[in-house]
A and B are shown apart, each in its own frame.
Chain A
């Protein structure tokens, strides 16, 4: 068999040489681009050219610190790698002027340094010691933000495709499957089914033609780890899929990527081309006799296609509707052939397990949930981004240590985990370890790992309504419990938020939720009621306030708000009167004003306008 060893050494040498040159790296994942990373890139490029500096420029994927994007890193020979955050085009040039010309870093913009074997600069925190990284392990995200995702040489230099080589040269199909089983890896997309057992079932299915599918239809609101992996380290997914193909006996793979991720699609296409050009994918891979091709199928905007049978229908060019299982995809999948489906993060875990061994992987995590998991931190949290932690760490560690707590010093209220299939967890359970089984006991689920953090100004009934609105709209309409049940539940929730809830509504909601959960055809319907059940479990009093007292304690549900002017604080400046679009405010200049609740449309423009804080919602 043809070996990549020599080539890897060469790529490593080249990468090392490049790290000993002056290098500026800029994060150009979509999070970096959306924050203005390309503008920074252009400004830096122009500066470097105008000044005639000898600098290598490199684009990287997401480092996980989305809150600090745009991110720019400066490497000087013999110096640590300095990571600058929240960089603007002007500041980037300023920073480089000082750093490149005079060798002076700008600590005020630095989020951390990575000494990489050199003397660390004084008074600057090391990246790994910062609150954001301290409790993290970087295995799946190890290369994200470090390498240029469009350079296959970088991936190979960092141990890429070593696992595939190992599998093809020295492991039997059974040995690969056993290794994955022994690692304890469970699906990272939602259900958490043991990956090795899935592979085994597909291996045991007879037939000359089998498929490997990567589910990259990441649709849970609040989850974006798969996008980040595809944008920042696409080859790791290709390698995981190829290893799976070898193990189950498939020669063809599909990556089903949602249409919302154009950059991921672009980088995947390039990655596949580059791997084929080097003989790492395609026919007779590395002269091993094993052939494996990967194709991309782009989705078209349907959340239900994250369900595996719906996804396969979509690849086949049909409407993305789920079907009853069994037969499972392992028996009859894409075009009726045995198929293995895992999600992006699951495949990205595979090369590491093969390279470092199942024991290394199983040493992380808890008894029943091994390894690490990437979480997306969003909502009212200070540091939004991606964090990879050993499974079993507490929610408190993730939200407060890594995420830095709540924005604007507000109080933590709940965290929604697992998106629309999951549930919210209140402050009283913040010390629960995050693993598959503990979360289910709390009425939530791991799901894809989106964490939406909510503060005291969030209305939990409103949140439940929004998650249900999502699943209701995304319900494909095939089975009655999901189609009709979610609609009825949504109507009840809307009624409650509008102050028209009746005393029987909570019971009806609970009953409906249980019916939808237990009788829906696919995972979408079976999990759609979870956000409602979880909020009812932990925040029942908020529902009761809405229903019985017609009050929204968080002051979010517009119909339940009373906008009040405090006559003692009002100076009669007339600003509120002028801004009111409904002419609901009356009063003479220099005398306290008042609001006509009949006319008020609760737009709250007056609250924002009042310079004296005299107008409040109650």
Chain B
């Protein structure tokens, strides 16, 4: 596993590169690990408060560990009128966790997403950024099985 210092260091000459560095960290760890925010602050010459501010401002960035599979359920209006509520409930029921939580085995995290621009067939769910469209509550077990 790559060292987070090396990952951040790769972006040090890039103006405004901190967000890209955070993306790279998440690719490796699925979240921004402890210590990495302070390291990013040092590398990019900003205060730790600013680096932490960036890490917590954006919904794609996380400072807490997350599951291997990050399931994001869109709850924007087009998905909502297509019945996203029932899909959310189905995922919560099948995984035994609530939105915002991670399963105890560290496998799945459930999150809300805002519109991911796949509104041609709603409701939409993304799993590690791969969109699944037109999902009904009945589809949920099969979708989860693909990850297991």
Contact = CB atoms under 8 A, between A and B. Distances in A.
Interface of A: 30-31, 34-35, 66-67, 69, 218-224, 226-227, 258-262, 297-303, 314-320, 335, 376, 378-380, 384-385, 416, 420, 450, 452, 454, 458, 462-463, 466-467, 470, 473-474, 476
Given A318-B54, A474-B114, A378 B15 contact: no
A222 B77 contact: yes
B54 A319 contact: yes
Contact of B76 (A302, A376, A466): A466
B18 to A, nearest CB: 4
B121 interface: yes
A34 B131 contact: yes
Given A300-B22, A316-B15, A473-B114, A222 B53 contact: no
A35 B120 CA distance: 10
Contacts of A222: 76-78, 115, 119
Contacts of A473: 114
A35 B133 contact: yes
Contacts of B118: 30-31, 34, 224
A87 to B, nearest CB: 15
Given A297-B19, A298-B20, 17 more contacts: A30-B131, A34-B132, A35-B133, A219-B115, A221-B78, A222-B77, A222-B78, A222-B115, A224-B118, A299-B58, A300-B23, A303-B114, A316-B15, A317-B44, A379-B78, A452-B78, A467-B77
Interface of B: 15-20, 22-23, 44, 50, 53-54, 57-61, 75-82, 113-122, 126, 129, 131-133
B16 A316 contact: yes
A319 B75 CA distance: 24
A301 B133 contact: no
20 contacts: A30-B131, A31-B133, A34-B132, A219-B114, A221-B119, A222-B76, A297-B19, A298-B20, A299-B19, A300-B23, A317-B17, A335-B15, A379-B81, A384-B119, A384-B121, A385-B120, A450-B78, A452-B78, A458-B81, A463-B77
A466 B117 contact: no
Contacts of A376: 119-120
Given A300-B23, A379-B78, A224 B119 contact: yes
A316 B20 CA distance: 11
A315 B18 CA distance: 9
Of listed A258, A259, A380, A416, residue having the most chain B CB within 10 A: A259
A301 B59 contact: yes
A258 B80 CA distance: 22
Contacts of A66: 120-121
B117 A317 contact: no
A194 B77 CA distance: 30
A420 B75 CA distance: 13
Contacts of A467: 77
B54 A317 contact: yes
A604 to B, nearest CB: 9
Given A221-B77, A221-B114, A224-B120, A319 B131 contact: no
A223 B77 CA distance: 11
Contacts of A260: 113, 116-117, 126, 129
